[in-house]
Structure 1
Amino acid sequence: MYPHRLFANKNNSDGVMNIAHRGARAFAPENTLAAFAKAKQFGCAMFEIDVHRAKDGELVVHHDDQLTRCTDVSTKFPDRPSYYVSDFTSAELAGLDAGSWYARQLSLPVEQRQWFLQSLTSDEIEEFVSREDLASYASGTIHLPTLKQTLELAQDLDLMVNIELKTLPRMYAGMADAVVDLVEAMTMDHQILISSFDHQQLQDVRQRNQNIATAVLTGDRMVNIGEYLHLLDADAHHPGLDTLGFGGIERKLDAPGIKRVRERGFGVNVWTCNDKNDMRKLITAGVTGLISDFPNRVRDVISEPAVTEI
């Protein structure tokens, strides 16, 4: 039941965690060690990552099912029939350039950038993305990390990690067991929160280890989510921002729904929240965490005086 001891003494004074989505991905290539290190700079307690399995079974950190958006895979392997993460060995994945795409994005006109970078301001770039950073990202030396490398960095930085288990459209047999094995081997049970849209994976984790926190990811509106969380013995709900009312015509937050889940003793960590006004409304409604591409904005809002209107 939330709050899991994982989160004890880690939240700020208001009890709202600043969770860096795929690392601080507005300011560094997503799901790379560079992005995770940026999260530390913004005072985050946790960063969120996505995990796939390579062809040889290695646990690899990457969001998309295919590699084309965030690597140079089509250049290095032009003759491959497809570019799913699971089509490549860990050695092949380790040789991909996972940083240059981000540097190229910042050189584009704002309206041509990927959607989450279109709200990145020139002031934010100047303050948080140095010339040295950009040179590093464009150097070809930024690679896809393994889960082990990522957890080692988290230990060094004293940060918690939200591991999202990816499955569909390709099922990874034994994914939950492999992740739990690694977490246990590194004695990080109380530093990890595992989430997934594949809720069977969460049950598999819970059956293996009662100490690892779990969170139910949803991208659609749910009925009796509190009962569902109880059924899965989960610790938190991770709803998409739009499902809480922001996707409606009136953009009216379902604050009572959040309250009901919180009253059942579960956490509510919302993805992906990049707008400060939305953050303020969610904090007032009682969420326990904000998963954001812009942890600098979360930090700013958390430090503001409390508001009472939603």
Structure 2
Amino acid sequence: MFVRSATASTAAAAVLGAGALLLPVPRTLASDHASERQGSPIVVAHRGASGYAPENTLAAIDAADALGADWVENDVQRTRDGVLVVLHDTDLKRTTNVEEVFPDRAPWAVKDFTAAEVSRLDAGSWFGPRFAGARVPTLTRFLHRLERNDQKLLLEIKSPQTYPGIERDILRVLRKEGWLDRSHVRDRLVVQSFGVDSVRTVRALRPDVTTGFLGTPAVADLPSYAVFADQINPSYATISADYVAAVQRLKGAHGKPLRVNTWTVNDAKKAATARSYGVDGIISNFPDVVRHATG
């Protein structure tokens, strides 16, 4: 199961090995705002810089940092014993060696494993030998690394129907780690989900937190989403300039124009098109490619 294309592995090694040559000037909040006025969308590293390092790992956060990506997107789930971990799939098969370590535990759902069991898994070798031994991070460890790098977080609540009450659990960890203070909430944190009820729950529990809905609601339905969301974050394949404009004409839950962050855009041509649509942000596995195409 540990297979990675030679092209991607070579690209990763080249970029990360020559980070000093490619590193752009870090973007502060002030420079983000200046870029917005000039029409450049914010760039968000999807699951970290997952084109260059195994997704949702600390290595992917660091790769995003090396490439100058201030914003990092991740996915949060809950283990059997209630620990929040950062992982995209609801099972462990694709990005870990769980089938080798626990061969009798099919279907290897995250919710069926304890945090201690998940911590034993190799979450890096599937991407390339350089990352062998990378682990599935807890949300706490993920936040610590973002803090060390002075990065910002677009946090996705993954499959909330699988984890009743996960919104409270996430907010509890965010609060414990200092991510619900005024400065983090104002400048460095967005919580999003495909689950309407999940986004509403976060809004009800912490009205100050910026929230996003993942998906492409019909234009006629957008006003109902604006009641509880500050962002509408759709797939690139589903949007047009007219759709983006329709979203941005509305004010979201905090009384500011709804923002649009589109995913997952991995090449320069699509990035340029997304910029021409007027999106506020672009989520990408290759944040450097998007930055160079839109900056």
TM-score, normalized by the shorter chain, greater than 0.5: yes
Q: 1:188 aligns with which of 179, 183, 194?
A: 179
TM-score by structure 1 length? 0.78
Partner of 1:249: none
* Matching of residue 222 in structure 1 with residue 243 in structure 2: no
Secondary structure of 2:92's match? coil
Q: 1:241 aligns with which of 236, 255, 272?
A: 236
Aligned residues: 252
Separation (CA, whole Å) in 1 of partners of 2:212 and 2:285: 19
Secondary structure of 1:11's match? helix
Q: 2:248 aligns with which of 243, 259, 262?
A: 262
Please report how far the alpha carbon of residue 263 of structure 1 lies from its aligned counterpart in structure 2 after TM superposition.
Answer: 2.3
Partner of 2:21: none
TM-score by structure 2 length? 0.81
**Runs of 5+ in structure 1 lacking a partner?**
1-6, 104-133, 245-253, 304-310
Q: Which structure's relative contact order is higher, taking Cα pairs within 8 Å and 6+ residues apart? A: 1
State the AA in 2 paired with 1:188: W
- Structure 2 counterparts to residues 1-310 of structure 1, below 5 A: 8-9=29-30, 11=32, 13-15=34-36, 16-103=41-128, 134-135=129-130, 137-138=131-132, 141-167=133-159, 171-189=162-180, 190=185, 191-218=188-215, 220=216, 222-232=218-228, 234-244=229-239, 254-264=240-250, 265-303=257-295
Separation (CA, whole Å) in 2 of partners of 1:155 and 1:204: 26
Secondary structure of 2:127's match? helix
Please report how far the alpha carbon of residue 257 of structure 1 lies from its aligned counterpart in structure 2 after TM superposition.
Answer: 1.4
Residues 183-241 of structure 1 show CA distances to partners (whole Å, capped at 9, x for unaligned) of 122221322211100111111111111221110001x5523353133222x11011011
**Runs of 5+ in structure 2 lacking a partner?**
1-27, 251-256
Q: Is the 8 A contact 1:49 1:161 kept in 2?
A: yes
State the AA in 1 paired with 2:79: A
> What root-mean-square deviation, in Å, do the aligned CA atoms of Structure 1 and Structure 2 show?
1.6
State the AA in 2 paired with 1:208: L
Identity of aligned residues (%): 33
Secondary structure of 2:69's match? coil
Separation (CA, whole Å) in 1 of partners of 2:232 and 2:30: 20
Q: Is the 8 A contact 2:264 2:282 kept in 1?
A: yes
Residues 49-82 of structure 1 show CA distances to partners (whole Å, capped at 9, x for unaligned) of 0011000010000000111110000000011132
State the AA in 2 paired with 1:257: Y
Q: Is the 8 A contact 1:42 1:299 kept in 2?
A: no
Please report how far the alpha carbon of residue 164 of structure 1 lies from its aligned counterpart in structure 2 after TM superposition.
Answer: 0.5
Runs of 4+ in 1 over 3 A off after TM superposition: none
